[in-house]
Structure 1
Amino acid sequence: MNFDDLTLRQSFAPGGVLRASINLGNPILANKDAATGEPFGVSVDLARAFAGELGVELELVVFDTAGKSVQAVRDERADFGFFAIDPLRGERIAFTAPYVLIEGFYLVRDDSPIRTNADVDHPHNRIAVGNGSAYDLFLTRELKAAQIVRTPTSPAVVQTFIDDALEVAAGIRQQLEADAMNLPGLRMLDERFMVIRQAMGLPKSRGPAAAHALDEFVEEMKASGFVAEALARHGIAGASVAPTPDASA
């Protein structure tokens, strides 16, 4: 893909500046430097690399939740972003193939009768989940009996689970593991309830050529080792680089 193509640059950055929607609610992908307040992480590295490919200035548009980050791209207040692939989001956003795979797990108290994922979906169980997150969208579709309690942000899930004496917390494996280490009396269930496919995405209104270019960029970043190196550089454990799609499939 010729990233020097003027038409392509205008598709991505019609205002002359490439605006990347960054979600700080997923610590696997982005965080904020405590000293400078600047965002950093895998998604930030990819955003900068893509702006470099296009030869345009980059602006980071930062949000504290996935829902807000998605909405900014839907509304074209940002030109692209980093999201978990989901059919509801895909109505207005064109996704690339995933670049990172993340696991979603359940967290309960040590004395909870819940032992397996199958024990979760019952009317007496209340599940804390970040509002608008990939877990929220997935569990809203999949759960038939349990009640979903939505927290303002994903990092607030475990604290809400504790404060409101809920039965289950759902979220990113790494975040739940860290919370369980810091808070006594908690345990994670043994198996994941979903695999989150993290991808880049842009408004469908930007056209198929732009969508194809972004997808090619993601595949190049995976094949070159850029994504794996970024995960290692930021100390991200537990997330894996997504495999390249089978061209024959």
Structure 2
Amino acid sequence: MTIVPAIVQAFTPKGVLRASINLGNPILANTDKATGAPVGVSVDLARAFAERLGVALELVVFDAAGKSVEAVANEQADIGFFAIDPVRGAQIAFTEAYVLIEGSYLVREHSPLRRNEEVDQEGLRVTVGKGSAYDLYLTRELKNAQIVRAPTSPAVVQTFLEQNLDVAAGVKQQLESDIRAHAGLRLLPGRFMVIRQAMGTPRTRGADAAQALCQFVEEMKSSGFVSDALRRHGIQGASVAPGANPA
């Protein structure tokens, strides 16, 4: 895959590749305990794309998906890593997914809820991370339950506990970690949605730049780069997305 100078320029108007990194989703990125630096699958992909462009990489780090999306939409970053969503797609050109992530519901042990389909009831309050893919999806899908937005996805269970809410929604891996930290909680079986996690760039960068990013993601999947990164970072609860259908 060769990237021509005009496309390199489209991705790097500030002379470096600014990558928006969301630490609010542990499947995508975390903080290295020893160095404090961001690490994870999204960081690895950002570094590989900067190398492909032949430019320096600058990480723009956020604690929530919504903030990360805004940075790319407002052109404070050149690329980012997000769940594909039509609302976000108005300003951001997405690649096909590179990983699939399960979204789950968490309840208290004594909750009468046993199935995902039972959550959308009048009087039930469901908390999600503000601006997350789960927030966008449930805002469209829930017709009866009330949505309560936590400041970030990692703060969902804390908000759920502090406000005595009925259901917490989010990344399955994050919720499983919260269950280990707090007694008396359980996940509902299965999943209520699958997140299609992709790379994205501002639509203003043009169709050629968006296509180059799409080609990069497909190469990273087919070469084994994404699967190797998931394994290297010990990520469970996510799988490599299938290759895009040829046009």
The Cα offsets for residues 28-78 of structure 1, whole Å up to 9 and x where unpaired, read as 000112332210000000000000000001100001110010000011000
> How much has 1:182 moved relative to structure 2?
2.4
Identity of aligned residues (%): 68
> How much has 1:106 moved relative to structure 2?
0.3
Q: 1:15, 1:110 → 2: CA distance? A: 51
> How much has 1:164 moved relative to structure 2?
1.1
Aligned residue for 2:188?
A: 189
Amino acid at match of 2:11: F
> How much has 1:229 moved relative to structure 2?
0.4
Higher mean C-alpha displacement, 100-109 vs 114-123: 114-123
Where do residues 1-249 of structure 1 align in structure 2 (5 Å cutoff)?
Answer: 1-3=1-3, 5-247=4-246
Amino acid at match of 2:33: A
Q: 2:55, 2:122 → 1: CA distance? A: 52
Partner of 1:37: helix, strand, or coil? coil
Partner of 1:26: helix, strand, or coil? coil
> How much has 1:123 moved relative to structure 2?
1.7
> How much has 1:181 moved relative to structure 2?
2.3
Amino acid at match of 1:6: P
> How much has 1:163 moved relative to structure 2?
1.3
TM-score by length of structure 1 reads 0.97
Partner of 1:141: helix, strand, or coil? helix
Amino acid at match of 1:175: Q
Q: 2:100, 2:117 → 1: CA distance? A: 23
Partner of 2:20: helix, strand, or coil? strand
TM-score by length of structure 2 reads 0.98
Runs of 4+ that moved beyond 2 A: none
Could you list the runs of 5+ residues in structure 1 that have no partner in the other structure? none
Partner of 2:45: helix, strand, or coil? helix
Q: 1:24, 1:186 → 2: CA distance? A: 24
> How much has 1:107 moved relative to structure 2?
0.4
Q: 1:63, 1:183 → 2: CA distance? A: 25
Could you list the runs of 5+ residues in structure 2 that have no partner in the other structure? none
